[in-house]
Structure 1
Amino acid sequence: MRKLAQALRGAFAFVLVSANTLFWCLVLFALALVKLALPFEPVRRRLDPLLNAVATAWIACNTGWMRLTQPTRWQVQGGEGLKPGGWYLVNANHQSWVDIFVLQRVLGRRIPLLKFFLKQELIYVPVIGLAWWALDFPFMRRHGKSALRANPALRRQDAETTRRACEKFALAPTSVTNFAEGTRFTAAKHRGQRSPYQHLLKPKAGALAFALGALGTRFRSLVDVTIVYPAGAPTFWDFLCGRVPQVRVHIRELAIPEVFCSGDYEGDPALRSSFHQWLDQLWQDKDRQIAQMRGEADTIWRKPGATSGPG
């Protein structure tokens, strides 16, 4: 009976999230068609805030159905000084699709609309892929090491994608959001990487560095978010069914070193090394924070013989 009740809860939540998504996406698509037909900066300056407002309403309704259907207990610490105006660079650890809903719930209306770096393949997700395109989410191509060795010019593709996206973000306050690990954490990926962090995969520096290079000092700060699911990382269906008893979130706002906003990450080896060291320290702090939130010892774990630093 308990499993049946959870399945019914999940079905009801799925209907709510689907109806909410379809309704707001229709509004988004109508505005996006105007932007597509009139691709001029004055038009964009008027339409982008409207598109962001529609997306904010969509997220607010998502929070509504979560409160209505989910018994999850939320424990959120930090972020008291955040403001809805201005630009933010948001970084978080990544374990599940649920992470996106968590970030939207805890940061919604506290800072501008979150816009994520997404894998290119996600543009083909029905309905939502088009919505992400309409909202100018940057779609990034992932190239394997063998492809990069064969064609080093591919390294520039994501940099150019980030630059173009950030030019659009400059028209209205935006929270540029990135999962620096580049993929969801699993034990198998952790072993395969020989990650030097206990609870994290190696971070990828590129998207963060390119965003800083493109928007520079517009960013008010870095919002570093740490997410922990004490019962284990859930699937989206687990979340819909109410099988996530607790979510713990820690938010801290950090100043961004000015040199990273004005320097040349690609062309300056010294700056690139400094950026990697900064990101590695950020990841060590996050690893320690996860251990504390999970009730583990306040220590940083390093796998013997592992190489440290961002990917």
Structure 2
Amino acid sequence: MASPADFSAPADLLMPGAAADMVAAVGRWLRYLGTEKRLSPKTLEAYGRDVRVFLGFLASHLGENVSLAAMAGLHPRDVRAFLARRRADGLEARSIGRALAAVRSFSRFLEREGEGRMAAFAAVRTPKAGTRLPRPLAIGAARQVVSAEARDHEDTAPWVIARDSAVLALLYGSGLRISEALGLRQKDAPKPGEQGQLTVLGKGQKTRQVPVIAKVATAIDDYRKLCPWSLGPDDPLFVGVKGGQLSPRIIQLAMERLRGALGLPASATPHALRHSFATHLLGRGGDLRSIQELLGHASLSTTQVYTAVDTAALMKVYESAHPRA
């Protein structure tokens, strides 16, 4: 993955159609986002990609290499033309909105650097994205996914089976993002067989406390006992077959195999276990504000989407069971 420093490379290598001053500015912007705003590497990668696509479009649209002066001279119609092109490329409103957010962020950075007024970007509305409801697993399916017994048929080392089960159990049992689970260290491991808490590092480098039920703590301990690697307290809690940091892709592939074995839909991803955690808590009477804290959402409105999921489930029960439905 490209780092922010990579964007100081010559324009013809990374951003065809962008003038040298523009390439240098993109590099400074990405370094600023990484060091000052502390955005995650994945967000940096996505923002950098969106701006490169935008600059490539502008080069074709304007018929010249895009310089900082050309950027300052844009009109709202130029930005709207870019959004129309992305829509024609098949992007959904949500992805188009993210691309516009990236370009706006870059334009604000240029304004702060004294590169001119970038009024064209503020004059364009963000496309409205329809609310996309999370797709949680049913309780029975979620329990199957986190069970090591579901993998007994696989030609896989027992410690790897135990590791994957422990990771998936954390995602469902504590509502973690996969990056949060894989960011844990050996010293963070909960006491086996006991209900406790974990301190996890979430989005925006914010820490929060999450509960760990006894079954999840036991699953983690089972994995650690079988793990063949000698690991220190600051080493990753979950490691790959060579003893290094476990890649999220490995857990995603494990989930793909489980989908086939258990007949689950394509929406059954590792992140769906986090959705399942929130939805099942809400369905059992969990308080929305508490669920917000457990998930690490900055805004309650983000958590409120799960109320729509729970209502949708209730309506399905009503429609299938009520004699007059």
Q: Normalising by structure 2, what TM-score?
A: 0.24
Q: Normalising by structure 1, what TM-score?
A: 0.25
Higher helix share: 2
Which structure is richer in relative contact order (CA contacts within 8 A, separation 6 or more)?
A: 1
Rg comparison, structure with higher value: 2
Higher strand share: 1
